[in-house]
């Protein structure tokens, strides 16, 4: 058994079982058994079951959101959005079963057609930073494409995933089609990698663990999707609407207390407007509301754990300025801004995964692109400019999977999401995700007599 701790109160909020290797194997065997019938369910029926699952998630939006506030310290506003995202992703992929059609390709002497075949059992490994959305991005397209799913939530944040597993059964998904297995990464997660009946691993988390998972999957040439770390740049040009860029910059990095793989944790500001921009930013950071996440007004809650708090604090030596955070119990840290003295600073280079923004100035467009790309990561980023041509050039020049121009938003369930370089492999969401949960099979039918 494992105690789940609230990061707001430091009190135990629930105790959940830690699945053993034997229990994991048994669940994988059941998922494999269920695959035979699930793949054969008529497309329209599979679609209807996923829509019913989505409807139940919607009905339980407030319950799921409150559970996430208690377990993860997410702000109530974010948590409602997150539960809504699971609903939307399920509804979006519920449109897939009847549309997952192959092709007919002209050949001599017969007919050639392709099929999208499901893979089998898919293992989804979820981190603690966005327990609901990241679970849904894996299980919804996997189920829609005809796979069965075993899902391991992060040990710190299993409660909403467990609830989603119950709602799936209530919606009528057959036993074994979607199983949530709380437990340790080193036990349940590793077993997804080594068990031969798990045909694909869909992992979100640290780059370090992601590399080990990829290496482990290579043993069986197991399919893998990786969504890993980031150190994304927010680039502000002198010709931008500085007030808008400054107003958006705190949310772009401090949302979810900075525990976001898309966090714009490196701010690049053009030298000619540096002082003016930093004045506006300081005002916005000081107004950013870090408080009890159950309050409707909260913009940021605590960090997930004592360990994460001490890891994040170790990066902050001399802050330029900071906002405020509550005292007392809870893993609180005020939103903090630091100036980089060079691109070698540890806080400039490493993914901190906390409410810390590193700032550096740049001279011109080429300099901005070079600095933005001077990282092993490439997940997201923002470009603020009033010049359309510049916006296009820089968006094409920055090496990242998801960029926004004059905006900080990176996630829409119907557009592709994922990283380049060491930020990951493969794409989730959008129309292409289904291909990552299917194999193309080609069949030639001879018409020779
Ligand atoms: P992590 O270790 O990569 O954990 C992510 C998930 O992988 C969790 O469910 C974890 O289980 C599981 N896991 C751990 N070791 C495993 C293994 N050997 N085989 C299979 N699964 C395994 O991430 P973390 O330790 O929680 O966080 C560390 C750092 O990673 C953060 O500070 C941040 O920099 C980065 N991170 C990035 C993201 C992202 O969205 N890109 C998300 C989370 C963390 P347990 O819960 O049992 O450990
Ligand atoms: Mg870890």
Q: What is the pLDDT of residues 84-137, one digit of tens each?
A: 999 999 999 999 999 999 999 999 999 999 999 999 999 999 999 999 999 999
The helix/strand/coil state of 425 is strand
State the ligand closest to the CA atom of 129. Answer: 1
- Distance from Cα 422 to the centre of ligand 1, integer Å: 15
8 and 25 fall within a common domain: yes
State the ligand closest to the CA atom of 135. Answer: 1
Q: Which of 82, 155, 190, 227 is catalytic?
A: 227
Q: Per the domain annotation, does 60 fall within a domain?
A: yes
| Ligand 1 atom closest to the CA of 130, numbered from 1 | 40
Answer yes or no: are the C-beta atoms of 410 and 262 closer than 8 Å: yes
- Distance from Cα 236 to the centre of ligand 2, integer Å: 33
- pTM higher than 0.85, yes or no? yes
Biggest alpha carbon–alpha carbon distance for the chain? 83
State the ligand closest to the CA atom of 213. Answer: 1
58 and 181 fall within a common domain: yes
| Ligand 1 atom closest to the CA of 216, numbered from 1 | 19
**The domain spanning residue 331 has which CATH number?**
3.40.309.10
83 and 204 fall within a common domain: yes
Cα distance between residue 407 and residue 398, in whole Å = 15
- Distance from Cα 268 to the centre of ligand 2, integer Å: 30
Note the pLDDT of residue 341. Answer: 96
279 and 192 fall within a common domain: no
Backbone angles phi, psi at 104, to 5 degrees: -115, 125
| Ligand 1 atom closest to the CA of 228, numbered from 1 | 41
Cα distance between residue 206 and residue 155, in whole Å = 14
Q: Per the domain annotation, does 417 fall within a domain?
A: no
Note the pLDDT of residue 150. Answer: 99
Which residues of the chain are under the pLDDT cut of 50?
none
Task: Please say if 219 is a catalytic residue.
Answer: no
Provide the residue range defining the domain that includes 336.
233-411
Probe residue for ligand 1, chosen from 134, 157, 190, 205 as the CB with the greatest number of ligand atoms within 8 Å: 205
Residue 445: strand pairing partners: 111
Question: Atom 18, ligand 1: which residue's CA is nearest?
Answer: 186
138 and 244 fall within a common domain: no
Question: Atom 43, ligand 1: which residue's CA is nearest?
Answer: 205
Structural domains counted in the chain = 2
**The domain spanning residue 141 has which CATH number?**
3.40.605.10
Cα distance between residue 157 and residue 128, in whole Å = 5
- Distance from Cα 221 to the centre of ligand 1, integer Å: 22
Query: Three-state SS across 375-403?
Result: CCCCCEEEEECCCHHHHHHHHHHCCCCEE
Note the pLDDT of residue 9. Answer: 98
Probe residue for ligand 1, chosen from 206, 346, 376, 401 as the CB with the greatest number of ligand atoms within 8 Å: 206
129 and 155 fall within a common domain: yes
Note the pLDDT of residue 342. Answer: 96
| Ligand 1 atom closest to the CA of 227, numbered from 1 | 41
- Distance from Cα 330 to the centre of ligand 2, integer Å: 21
203 and 274 fall within a common domain: no
- Distance from Cα 205 to the centre of ligand 1, integer Å: 4
Probe residue for ligand 1, chosen from 74, 124, 127 as the CB with the greatest number of ligand atoms within 8 Å: 127
- Distance from Cα 171 to the centre of ligand 1, integer Å: 30
Note the pLDDT of residue 433. Answer: 96
| Ligand 1 atom closest to the CA of 192, numbered from 1 | 20
| Ligand 1 atom closest to the CA of 152, numbered from 1 | 9
344 and 367 fall within a common domain: yes
Nearest to 412 by CA among 133, 54, 99, 141: 133
Nearest to 104 by CA among 117, 94, 92, 113: 113
202 and 249 fall within a common domain: no
252 and 185 fall within a common domain: no
Note the pLDDT of residue 171. Answer: 98
Cα distance between residue 207 and residue 407, in whole Å = 26
Q: Per the domain annotation, does 59 fall within a domain?
A: yes
58 and 197 fall within a common domain: yes
Tokens of 427: 């794409």
24 and 53 fall within a common domain: yes
Q: Per the domain annotation, does 276 fall within a domain?
A: yes
List ligand 1's pocket residues with C-beta within 6 A.
125-129, 152, 154-156, 184-186, 189-190, 204-206, 209, 212-213, 227-229, 261, 351, 353
Question: Atom 29, ligand 1: which residue's CA is nearest?
Answer: 206
State the ligand closest to the CA atom of 128. Answer: 1
């Amino acid at each position: 058994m494992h105690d789940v701790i609230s990061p707001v109160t430091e009190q135990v909020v629930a105790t959940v079982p830690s699945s053993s290797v034997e229990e994991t194997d048994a669940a994988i065997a059941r998922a494999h058994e269920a695959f035979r019938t699930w793949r054969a369910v008529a497309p329209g029926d599979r679609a209807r079951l996923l829509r019913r699952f989505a409807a139940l998630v919607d009905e339980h939006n407030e319950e799921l959101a409150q559970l996430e506030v208690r377990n993860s310290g997410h702000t109530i506003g974010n948590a409602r959005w997150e539960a809504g995202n699971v609903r939307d992703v399920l509804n979006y992929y519920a449109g897939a079963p009847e549309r997952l059609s192959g092709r007919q390709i002209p050949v001599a002497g017969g007919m050639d057609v392709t099929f999208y075949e499901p893979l089998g059992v898919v293992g989804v490994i979820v981190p603690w930073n966005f327990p609901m959305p990241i679970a849904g991005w894996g299980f919804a397209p996997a189920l829609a494409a005809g796979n069965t799913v075993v899902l391991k939530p992060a040990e710190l944040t299993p409660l909403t995933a467990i609830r989603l597993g119950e709602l799936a059964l209530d919606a009528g998904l057959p036993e074994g089609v979607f199983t949530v297995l709380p437990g340790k990464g080193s036990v349940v997660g590793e077993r997804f990698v080594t068990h031969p009946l798990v045909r694909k691993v869909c992992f979100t988390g640290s780059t370090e663990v992601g590399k080990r998972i990829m290496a482990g999957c290579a043993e069986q040439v197991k399919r893998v999707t990786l969504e890993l770390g980031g150190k994304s740049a927010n680039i502000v040009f002198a010709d931008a609407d500085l007030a808008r860029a400054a107003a958006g910059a705190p949310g772009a990095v401090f949302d979810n207390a900075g525990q976001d793989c898309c966090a714009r944790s490196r701010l690049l500001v053009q030298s000619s407007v540096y002082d003016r921009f930093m004045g506006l930013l300081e005002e916005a950071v000081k107004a950013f509301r870090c408080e009890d996440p159950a309050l409707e007004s909260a913009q940021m809650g605590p960090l997930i754990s004592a360990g994460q708090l001490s890891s994040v604090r170790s990066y902050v030596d001399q802050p330029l300025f900071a906002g405020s955070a509550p005292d007392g119990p809870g893993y609180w840290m005020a939103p903090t801004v630091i100036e980089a003295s060079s691109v070698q600073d540890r806080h400039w280079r490493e993914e901190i995964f906390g409410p810390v923004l590193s700032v550096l100035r740049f001279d011109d467009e080429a300099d901005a692109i070079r600095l933005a790309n001077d990282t092993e990561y490439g997940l997201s980023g923002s470009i603020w400019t009033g010049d359309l041509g510049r916006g296009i050039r820089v968006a094409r020049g920055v090496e990242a999977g998801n960029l926004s121009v004059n905006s900080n938003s990176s996630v829409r369930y119907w557009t592709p999401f994922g990283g380049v370089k060491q930020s990951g492999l493969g794409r989730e969401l959008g129309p292409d995700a289904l291909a990552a949960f299917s194999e193309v099979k080609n069949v030639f039918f001879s018409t020779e007599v």
